[in-house]
């Protein structure tokens, strides 16, 4: 089997499995119990919290464990709305983008049905948020706040898109949020452990992450809540997670999450470079073999109109060789190297998303499955939907193109032989479906 759907979920790593094992059988005490057996579990939870906090350079008291990314997104948005209601404020506004995960879009839609004002900021053809429109909406909200004296405003924009891999300008979004007094939440489920995230530089107030996207166990995630941000309880019952999220902690899951995060962050740069090399080679080979293929989102093969696919450093791929080594060797100037490296950071390292000519992505997936290849046509959470991808429609694709999407999310372990086999399988599937 060739597994190319790592954006949907990842295999449990050996380090995560080994870390979890003692808490699946031996140390099974309730972490809220006061006796030593229970306190062993409590110690494991708090050590895991400390580990993850250190990776993000935040305080352990700013990390709250959840049941996953969807819960974290719901908590972030719901709590801001509820806090506004508890303070009896006159208005609350939610600002998001048109390409968010359903966990954000549907939560916003729910509150909109209850009378909450929701603004959905458009994106360009590469998936980048329109910052000018965002600032205009914030200016209007700020003016309203002055007349109504009290209001709440939340910006919720994902760090990196789960379908097309576009990495948003979190630093600029955070700056605007700070300038206009808005709370800034980012869904970092796809970005956590893949790219650097700086809470202070990006001025992030709330951040969602999920364990199973980074080779940790399913059913556990986190919400970072900046110190000083007052939010009401999300789940009521016990006093777990400092009274904000009731329910017995998933000790094995939390421990596994911590181990997976530690490994992901320690290898982020090295693995990222390998995945970038594989990603870009994948794009190059697909464009060579399948006429009419279109890259969705940021095209890493082009730099300001210049076709980089013919550059020597781009063709210097070798299994296990970092893309930066190739750039260092072949780039003529430091500026050329820096420009190209900066371009790479606009798209998740392992994300390959294309629109196929004249075929439906779902049909291609079935044929790939017959050849032992696992891929997807978009978000796993939208699997089974008859509607075209809202992300592809938002970046300007036609309905026909939106139905033709194919997403390959890679790991650094993919071999060149597996890559070539997959390219040939996609080519054969397209040709067969067009007959």
Angle, helices 69-86 vs 102-113, to 10°: value is 30
The CATH topology of domain 268-300+346-433 is: 3.90.1150
pLDDT value for 91: 78
Pick from 413, 403, 419, 399: nearest CA to 365 = 403
Token pair in block for residue 308: 């980089």
Q: How far is CA 115 from CA 50, 93, 134, 139, 374, in A?
A: 39, 10, 21, 21, 42
Contact 89, 150 (CB under 8 A): yes
Largest CA distance in the chain: 70
Q: CA geometry: angle at 146 spanning 105 and 135, to 5°?
A: 45
Q: Is 381 labeled as catalytic in the residue annotation?
A: yes
pLDDT of 307 over the 80 cut:
no
14-266 CATH: 3.40.640.10
The pLDDT value given to residue 9: 97
Distance CA 130, CA 186 (A): 16
- Per-range mean pLDDT, top range of 82-91, 150-159, 182-191, 261-270: 182-191
C-alpha–C-alpha distance, residues 97 and 104, integer Å? 9
Residue 428 has pLDDT above 80, yes or no: yes
Q: What is the DSSP code string of 327-371?
A: HHHH-SSHHHHHHHHHHHTTB-TTEEEEE-TTS-HHHHHHHHHHT
Fold matches, 14-266 and 268-300+346-433:
no
**218-254 pLDDT, tens per residue?**
999 999 999 999 889 999 999 999 999 999 999 999 9
CA distance 85 to 75: 15
Residue boundaries of the structural domains of the chain: 14-266, 268-300+346-433
Among all chains, which residue has been given the structure tokens 């499995």? 17
Burial class (CB in 10 A: 0-12, 13-18, 19+), 326: buried
Given 153, 308, 374, 381, which residue is catalytic? 381
> Span 273-288, mean pLDDT?
93
Give residue 379's pLDDT. Answer: 57
pLDDT band at 149 (very low <50, low <70, confident <90, very high): low
Residue 255: pLDDT band (50, 70, 90) is: very high
Separation between Cα atoms, residue 246 and residue 66, nearest integer Å: 10
**Residue 309 pLDDT greater than 60, yes or no:** no
19-44 per-position pLDDT tens digit: 999 999 989 999 999 999 889 999 99
- Condensed to tens digits (0 to 9), the pLDDT of residues 103-129 reads 999 999 999 999 999 999 999 999 999
Q: Which residues contact 307 (CB under 8 A, 6 or more apart)?
A: 301
Residue 344: pLDDT band by 50, 70, 90 thresholds?
low
**Residue 142 confidence class, pLDDT cut points 50, 70, 90:** confident
CA distance 433 to 403: 14
> pTM of the predicted model, to two decimals?
0.89
């Amino acid at each position: 089997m060739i597994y190319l759907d790592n954006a949907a979920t990842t295999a449990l790593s050996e380090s995560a499995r080994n870390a979890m094992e003692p808490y699946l059988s031996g140390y099974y005490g309730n972490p809220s119990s006061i006796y030593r057996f229970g306190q062993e579990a409590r110690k494991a939870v708090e050590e895991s919290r400390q580990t993850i906090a250190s990776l993000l350079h935040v305080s352990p008291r700013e990390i709250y464990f959840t049941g996953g990314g969807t819960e974290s997104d719901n908590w972030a948005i719901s709590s801001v709305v509820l806090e506004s209601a508890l303070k009896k404020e006159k208005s609350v506004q939610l600002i998001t983008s048109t390409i968010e995960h359903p966990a954000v879009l549907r939560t916003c839609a729910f509150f909109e049905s209850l009378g909450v004002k929701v603004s959905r900021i458009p994106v360009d053809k590469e998936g980048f948020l329109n910052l000018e429109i965002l600032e205009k909406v914030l200016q209007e909200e700020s003016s309203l706040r002055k007349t109504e004296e009290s209001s709440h405003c939340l910006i919720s924009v994902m760090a990196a898109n789960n379908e097309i891999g576009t990495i948003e300008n979190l630093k600029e979004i955070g700056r605007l949020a700070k300038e206009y007094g808005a709370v800034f939440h980012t869904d970092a489920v796809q970005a956590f452990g893949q790219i650097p995230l700086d809470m202070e530089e990006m001025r992030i107030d709330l951040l969602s992450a999920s364990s199973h996207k980074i080779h940790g166990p399913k059913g556990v995630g986190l919400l970072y809540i900046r110190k000083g941000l007052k939010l009401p309880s999300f789940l009521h019952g016990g006093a777990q997670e400092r009274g904000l999220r009731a329910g017995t902690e998933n000790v094995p899951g939390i421990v596994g999450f911590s181990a997976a995060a530690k490994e992901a962050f320690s290898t982020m740069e090295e693995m990222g470079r390998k995945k970038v090399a594989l990603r870009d080679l994948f794009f190059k080979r697909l464009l060579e073999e399948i006429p009419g293929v279109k890259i969705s989102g940021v095209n890493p093969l082009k730099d300001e109109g210049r076709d980089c696919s013919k550059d020597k450093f781009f063709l210097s791929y070798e299994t296990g060789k970092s893309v930066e080594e190739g750039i260092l060797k072949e780039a003529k100037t430091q500026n050329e190297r820096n420009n190209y490296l900066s371009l790479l950071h606009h798209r998740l390292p392992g994300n390959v998303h294309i629109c196929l000519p004249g075929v439906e992505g779902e049909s291609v997936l079935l044929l790939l499955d017959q050849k032992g290849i696992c891929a997807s046509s978009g978000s796993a959470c939208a699997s089974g939907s008859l509607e075209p991808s809202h992300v592809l429609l938002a970046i300007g694709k036609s309905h026909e193109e939106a139905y033709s999407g194919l997403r390959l999310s890679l790991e650094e372990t993919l071999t060149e032989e597996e890559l070539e086999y997959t390219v040939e399988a996609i080519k054969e599937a397209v040709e067969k479906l067009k007959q």
